[in-house]
Structure 1
Amino acid sequence: MKKKQLFLTGLLMAFLLSTGNYAMAQKDTTMWITLLEYRVHDESVFQKNYPIVKAFWLKADTGIEWARLGNTSESGRVYSLAFFKGADNFGAFMAKRVKTGDAFTAKEPAISKENMQNINGATTRSIWIRIDSLSHYEANYKMDNYDFRKLQFITVSPDKIKEFETAASKQLKMDVANGILYNFIVFKCTDGYPTNTYMLVLPDKSITDYYKNREARNAKRDQNKSAYAPLHKILVDWIAINRIDHLNRVK
């Protein structure tokens, strides 16, 4: 009887551990993105074909992809992003992406050919993870409600990663405490760029709205300049801005 009880207890523990791990996986809301960057000969071709590409991939990856976003930019690059909630969904996408790409080519050969011929130069592929402690969204944020995005690529001194993230988190909390509420999303690269590379995304309604709102934010910060100054110095000393770009969403 004692052996039987121990056996049943072992089974129960195994069940609880497995369901616990399953529950944790179900709650994994870590945001992953894949990013494609390249230049094109004709932006109008990208703008015409992207909605078809987007609709196909979202349908093919139902339950896997969270969203897709295509952008043209001031620099002449196009940026194509796919979003995934949780490592399992991201892994599922990576496992089937080649087959899904082949399926699109088979279904839309003319569009695939036109897109390939439109690429002007090399394509950069990268993978990023959102840093939630450094990010903030306005209430009721929806990606498709924002047609403009300011983009910054920065690198952080490799030996100052922890200090940078701590200072950036403190500055964000100060902004929130001072009523400076805006969309500020930070991703850290895991593949494709050095892993001390961060991508800052600042969505707004338009480029005019962005710079008008930025002036208002800076005016509020100036009212508490002595509190912000030490954090600002840390951030300036430990980062290098590699690229600034203005993006326009392809609808």
Structure 2
Amino acid sequence: MKNWMGPLGVLVAAVLAWECLHLIVGEGSLASPSTTLVQLVSMVSTAEFWQNALETCWALICAFLISIAGGLALGIVLGINRFAGAVFEPIILNIYSLPKVTLYPLVLLIFGLGTAAKVAFGVMHGLIPILLFTMNAIRQMKPVYLRAALTMGLTPSQRVLRVVMPAIAAEISTGLRLSFSLTLLGVLIGEMFASQHGLGYLLTRAMNLGDTRTLMAIAVVLIAFALTCNAAFTSVHKRMHR
């Protein structure tokens, strides 16, 4: 019960702050919690909402899986090869510091409007965090592990699967949690700028129409989804560290 008191207190405080802000700025600028709840119930009962939600989930899954595969592969290569890692790490950090929205025309030119553009935006946000966490975790790994693997005559693939991955699993779980949040952000940005489907598209449409009730209802859905996924990743992370 005590574990729930903190989150519950934060939730109550957030709702009260929301209600106070609504009273200050008015319904035209910010829908009240009660109005948002009514709109949320109405919205989730429509087929349009679930079609767009599934579109977002599918793009998120694709982008996250690509980010995991690419980030782990590049991170392992750059982590094991110290010289390559030292050369490419500053380049990677400089690339990642670029505002991703500035690449919006290029993404549209290559992928067009649709799922591919959303996935590309998601990968652009989520791949590099996993890459950096993996690379740095291998650098901090005890050198005796790799020396022992070489002594036992393990092949490169066996060294990665049986030595490197188990040794850095806890650190990778932290990278996955951060990458998931950023991938979700990238997918939503892609839907807002380069798609005609998805929850990000519904957000943009609601903003253009000045529909604050729908805007807040979608925001509540996204916040609840992100917090749930983050709690799941946190649980996995704690188990990894144990």
**Both structures adopt the same fold (TM-score exceeding 0.5):** no
Please report the TM-score for the alignment, with normalisation by the length of structure 1: 0.24
**Bigger share in strand:** 1
**Bigger share in helix:** 2
User: Which fold has the larger relative contact order, with Cα–Cα distance below 8 Å and residues 6 or more apart in sequence?
Assistant: 2
Please report the TM-score for the alignment, with normalisation by the length of structure 2: 0.25
